[in-house]
Structure 1
Amino acid sequence: MDITRRRLLIAGGTAVGLSIAATAGRDSASRLWWRVPGNEKPRKEGDVDHTSAEWVAASTANWRRADRPADYRVDRIVIHVVQGSYPTALKVFQDPAHGAAAHYVVRKDGHVAQMIRELDVAFHAGNQEWNERSVGIEHEGFVDRPADFTPQMYRASARLAADICHRYDFPADREHIVPHAKVPGTDHTDPGPHWDWGRYLGMVEEELRRARRRRTAG
C-alpha cells in the first residue's frame, strides 16, 4: 500500500472526526425528542438496513447516535474511495482514534459491509450538516487506479444506492448522489476522475426500475 496515502487517510479522517465530534453536543432540544423513553425506534445489535450487507460495527467514537429520518432528513448519498484496501477501511473505521467512518464499505468483488446504522450520523463527509443528511458509501481502491472500480463493485454499490434512494424517497441524480470532493468545505478528491458517473447512475436507475417491477408484481 502507498504509505503516504495511508497516512493521509488516517490523519485527514482524524482531524475531520474530531472537529465534528466537538460540535455533536450542540443539537437543539427539538432534535433530541427521541431520547425520551418510548420515542426511539427499536434497535437490535447486528441489524442491517441493506439486506445483503454484512454487519461489521465501527467504533462508537466514529459516529453519533440519532434517529434519522425523524430528527434529520436523509436526502443525500456521498460516494467515497478508501485510498486503500477493504480490510484497511474496516480497520480504521473500527479504530476509535480515527475519528471518522462511513455507513457502508463496498469491496471489489461486490461484498458490502454495513458499519453504522442509517439511523445514526456517521462522521464521513467532513461537514456536519452533510453528515446529518447523508449516507456514506466507501469503496475499496485508489482514485488513480481505474481497474479498482470493478463491475461487481459498481453493481453492488448501485443496488445499495437504489435501496437508499427508495427508502428515503429522493432521486438518483448528481444533486443527490455526490462525490466526497463536492461536499462543501472538504479537501478530499474522491472518488476521482476514473469513477464512471454515467455508468453508475444508470445502474442505480436500473436497480430502481427492477425494484418497482418487483413491487408491482408482488
Structure 2
Amino acid sequence: MGDRRTAKDGDRRLGRRALFVGGTAAVLGTAVLGTAALAREELGRLWWRLPGIEKPRVAGAVDFPGARWVAASPANLRRADRPDDYRIDRVIIHVTQGGYRSAVNVFQDPGHGAAAHYIVSADGHVTQMVRELDVAFHAGNREYNERSVGIEHEGFVEDASSFTDAMYEASARLTAAICGRYGIPVDRGHIIGHVEVPGTDHTDPGPHWDWARYLRLVRAARTAPVKPQRSA
C-alpha cells in the first residue's frame, strides 16, 4: 500500500449491458475504421463474461499451495480471466505501512478502493485475497494492474526490522511460483517495487528492502522442489 491507504486507478467492472452494447459498438466502429484486429482483441477479453459462458470458480481456492484464503471486497478488484484476457508479466512488491490485520481489514473495505493479491506477514504466512486470474486494484495504474500480481508485505518502509528472514523466504517462494506459472523472468525489470509504477506517488518497498537478497532467494526457489507453506 505504501504511503496512502487508497489507490483507485479508474478500473471499473463491466456490467452485462455494457458488455453487449460496448461489444457491438466496438465491432461497428472498428469496421468503419478498418481496425478489426483491435475489436477482436477487446472482445476476446470479454466473451467469457457472457451469461452461461463465465467460467466456474471454486470458493476459497488459492493459487499458492498453503496460502490462507481471505476474500477482498469485490469493489477492490475486477473479475477477469488472466492470462487469457490480460498477459501477466510483472510482480509488484508493496509494503503495508501497518500490521497484517489492518491490511486485511482495508482490503475487505469496499470504500478503500484497493487490494493486493497476496499479503505476506512478518512470520512468513501467506494470505491470498484476490485470485491471480482477477485484476486487483493495487498498483495505482490500470495497465500495470492488468498485467501484474501484487504482493503486500507487513511492515513499514522506514523500519528495516520489518523485513524478516521468514518474510523474505516466504515471499521469494511465492514470487518464484508466480514467475514459473506465467513465464516471468526473475529480474528487476519484471519484479518491481510499487515506487517504480508510472504515475504513482508511493515509495514502497523503500530503501531497506534488499533487492539483491530477494532476487537470489527467488532464483533459488525457482530451482528448488516445491514445499507446501505453513497454514496460518
State the TM-score, normalizing by the size of structure 1: 0.87
The CA RMSD measured in Å over matched residues stands at 1.9
- Counterpart in the other structure of 1:206: 220
**1:20 partner SS:** coil
Cα deviations by residue, 1:90-137 (Å, 9 ceiling, x for unpaired) = 000000000000000000000010000001000000000000000000
Pick the aligned partner of 1:110 from 117, 121, 124. Answer: 124
Structure 1 unmatched ranges of 5 or more: 213-218
**Residue of structure 2 in register with 1:196 after alignment:** 210
SS of 2:151 mapped into structure 1: strand
SS in 2 for 1:135: strand
Partners of 1:76 and 1:21 in 2: CA distance = 18
Amino acid at match of 1:188: H
Structure with the larger RCO, 1 or 2 (CA within 8 Å, 6+ apart): 2
Partner of 1:215: none
Q: What is the DSSP-based 3-state SS (H/G/I as helix, E as strand, rest coil) of the residue aligned with 2:224?
A: helix
The CA distance in 2 between the partners of 1:198 and 1:101, in whole Å, is 27
Tell me, yes or no, if the aligned pair for 1:40 and 1:67 is still in contact at 8 Å.
Answer: no
| 1:122 counterpart letter in structure 2 | A
Q: Give the one of 46, 67, 76 matched to 1:32.
A: 46
Q: CA deviation at 1:191?
A: 0.1
**Count of aligned pairs between the two proteins:** 201
- Structure 2: 5+ residue stretches without partners: 23-41, 227-232
Which has more radius of gyration?
2
Asked if residue 57 in structure 1 is aligned to residue 71 in structure 2, the reply is: yes
The aligned runs of 1:1-218 (5 Å cut-off) are 9-10=4-5, 13=6, 16-17=7-8, 19-22=9-12, 24-25=13-14, 28-36=42-50, 39-211=53-225
What is the deviation of 1:170? 1.3
Structure 2 Cα separation of the partners of residues 75 and 37 of structure 1: 29
**What per-residue deviation string (whole Å, max 9, x for no partner) do you get for residues 177-199 of structure 1?**
00000001110000000000000
Label 1:41 to 1:211 Cα distance change in 2 as closer, same or farther (>3 A): farther
C-alpha separation in 2, matches of 1:85 and 1:99: 19
Match of 2:26 in 1: none
Distance 2:103 2:186 in 1: 26
Q: Using the TM superposition, give the Cα deviation of residue 39 of structure 1 relative to its aligned residue in structure 2, in angstroms.
A: 4.6
Mapped partners of 2:177, 2:11: distance in 1: 28
| 1:107–1:153 CA contact under 8 A, matched in 2 | yes
- Give the distance between the partners of 1:36 and 1:158, measured in 2 at CA: 37
Query: How far did 1:35 drift?
Result: 1.4
